[in-house]
Structure 1
Amino acid sequence: MAGRPTLRSGPLVPQLEELLTARIRDGEWTLGSRIPSEAELATELGVGRSSVREAVRLLARDGLLDVRHGVGTFVAQPPTSGAGLGKLLRRARLLEVYEVRRALEIEAARLAAERVRPEDLRRLREQLSTRHDSTTASTAVFVAADLDFHAAILEIAGNSILSALFDSIRPLLVDALAELVDHEPGRPDTSCAHDDLVRALEAGDAAAAVAATAANLDPTMSILRKGGNQ
C-alpha cells in the first residue's frame, strides 16, 4: 500500500473530500466500484470515522458516490471537468437557505423591537451568553445555541406564522450553519452583531434591530455569492 497521504493543518473534511474525489478522477476507484468502508478509510488516512463519513456524505450529495445502507458505498459518476463545481453548487443551496432566513429574521427583528417585554430581555441575554460561550464548543453545540437565540427573537416578535415558518426551515438552517462553520474558514465572526441586536431590542429601536440582523447575515451571504475563498 502507498504511504499515508499527508494532510495539511486546517479543516479536515474538505481535504478528505478532495482526496476521495481525486481517487475517482484518477481511476483508482472506477465507475460502479465499491469503495473501502468508513473504518478502512479512517485507518488508512489516520483520521476519525466521523470525518470520513462527512466527506462521503458531501460527495454523495453531489452525486459522485451512492451510499447503499447495509451494502456499501459505490462510485456513481466521475467528477465533472469543472473544478470545484460541487462546492459551488453547495454554496448556491446555502445561499437560498440564507435568503429565506434573512427574510424571516429581518421582519421578526422589527416586530420584536416593538413588542419585547422586560422578561423577554432577561431570557434573551441568557441565551446570548450561552451562544457566545459555545463558539469554542463543537459545531453541533454552537449551531443549536445560535439558532435557539434567533428562535427566541421569532417568539418575541409574537407572530405565530413567522415562528412556524422558522421552525419548518430550522433543519435546513442546522445543516447550512454547520456546513458554514465546518467548511468556510473565512466566515466572519458576527458576535458583535448579536450584541447589537439585543441592545436594539432593549432600546425598542426597530431600525437598529433590522440593521443588526442584516449585519449578522449579509457578510456570509456575500461570501456565498462570490464563491467563498476560492
Structure 2
Amino acid sequence: MTDPRSRMDSLAHQRVEYGALGAADVAADPYSQFAQWYEQAADPVREPNAMVVATADPDDPRGPSARVVLLKGFSAEGFVFFTNYDSAKGRQIAADNRIALVFPWHDMHRQVRVRGIAVRTSAEESDEYFAKRPRGAQLGAVASRQSEPVESREALHRAYDRASAEYEGREVPRPEFWGGYLVRPVEIEFWQGQANRFHDRFLYRSTEGTPPLDAGDRWTITRLNP
C-alpha cells in the first residue's frame, strides 16, 4: 500500500508556472471580461461551460453541497443553467437562493468565481430551451426523479421506456418540475495563475450590494492579494 505521506510529498512538489493579468487588461464590467475569457477558453478547455454550482439549505446540518452543471447562457443579467426543480439543488435553492459558481479552467490556469442569487427563468424561456434538447434528453428529464433513490439501473431504463412509449409519435412537453435558473451576480472574481503562486485576482463587486441588471458603472473593481 502506498504511504499517504509519499503522496502528499509528491503533490507538494507539483509546480506549474503561469501567465499574468494586469489592471489594464480587465474590462470595465464583469460580463465583458467573462465573454472575453470564455471565447479564449473555447479551444484549450474541453468544456468551458462546465461549472461548479454550490448551494446550501440553512436547515440542513450536513452543510453546503456542490456539483458540476453546464452553463447554457450568459448575458448582462447573469448566468443560466437548467435542472430539475425537485432535485437536491432545486430544493436547496428554494430554501436559500444564494448561490456560488466556479468555472475551473485549469488548462488556461484560470478560474472565475461567482456569488449571487438564483431566480427561476420564465416558463417561456424554459420551454424554448427544452424544445431544443435532444429527444433522449427530454425523455430522460421526464423519467428521472432526480436525486431520489432508485433501486437499480434497470428501474431507470423502465421509467425511460414508459416515457418513450407515452410520447411516441409526438413532442415531449417540458415537465413543470424542470426548468432554468438565472444566477444574478453580486460578485465575480477573475483569477489568473501567476509565477511563484503570486496569482492575479480581480474582484468585481456590485456597488449596491445586490445584483445589477446591466453592465457598466454599477461595479467596483478591486485587486486582491493572492
TM-score range for the pair, normalised by the shorter chain length: under 0.3
Give 1 or 2: higher strand fraction.
2
Higher relative contact order (CA 8 A, sep 6+): 2
- TM-score (ref. length: structure 2): 0.24
Give 1 or 2: higher helix fraction.
1
- TM-score (ref. length: structure 1): 0.23
